[in-house]
Amino acid sequence: MKLIVGLGNPGSCYAGTRHNVGFEVVDLLAAGAGTSPFRSRFQAHVAEFIDGTETVLLVKPETFMNLSGASVRQVLDFYKLPAKDLLVVCDDMALPLGKLRVRAQGTHGGHNGLRDIQAHLGSTVYSRLRVGVGEPGEDAVDHVLGRFRPTERAAVAEANSKAAEAVLVWVRLGVAECMNRYNGDPEKKKKANDASKKRTNDERDSDASADV
């Protein structure tokens, strides 16, 4: 079993805000075929689906962002899951808009949701997927609780979709492969991979010519 926790604040007044991208990524995953309806458990909304042989729990804590850890701790304890089976999806205002960053462990980095999860787990060793929401101006609180501008929405929608893909890679192939695929500049990685394949093909052609 894998546990995917999307962070955000409950209530319609927070829907669509920068702080709620974790909820939005979980909702994208929940929209897939075979996912159960969300129900209230563990101070959260919880759904699940089967991916291959793996049961995947989707959790949106309803405790408000700064108290997210209590809900996460309850789920881990109930299912007797180790922290290595936990992936937290959250916003990050230190990342450029739409950029993803996956980590296998690390500090909370000033994010209050991660701070509370760290306090309840007593550990920083759990996976997290951060979605960039852009740097704030003078007021960080207004920034994360504000909604995206119309010119930003396409980039955010694309980032959330990629984040949902990244979650499935994490479930199926683990955090190392997820980091390899989604950290850094995907376009540069694609070009590097294409160049590597071309070099390999050229070397094969050269070896074949030498054998003639």
Which residues form the catalytic set?
A: 19
Closest residue by Cα to residue 30 from 179, 168, 178, 192: 168
Instruction: Give the 3-state DSSP-derived string for the chain, with helices as H, strands as E and coil as C.
Output: CEEEEECCCCCHHHCCEHHHHHHHHHHHHHCCCCCCCCEEECCEEEEEEEECCEEEEEEEECCCHHHHHHHHHHHHHHHCCCHHHEEEEEEECCCCCCCEEEECCCCCCCCHHHHHHHHHHCCCCCEEEEEECCCCCCCHHHHHCCECCHHHHHHHHHHHHHHHHHHHHHHHHCHHHHHHHHCCCHHHHHHHHHHHHHHHHHHHHHHHHHHC
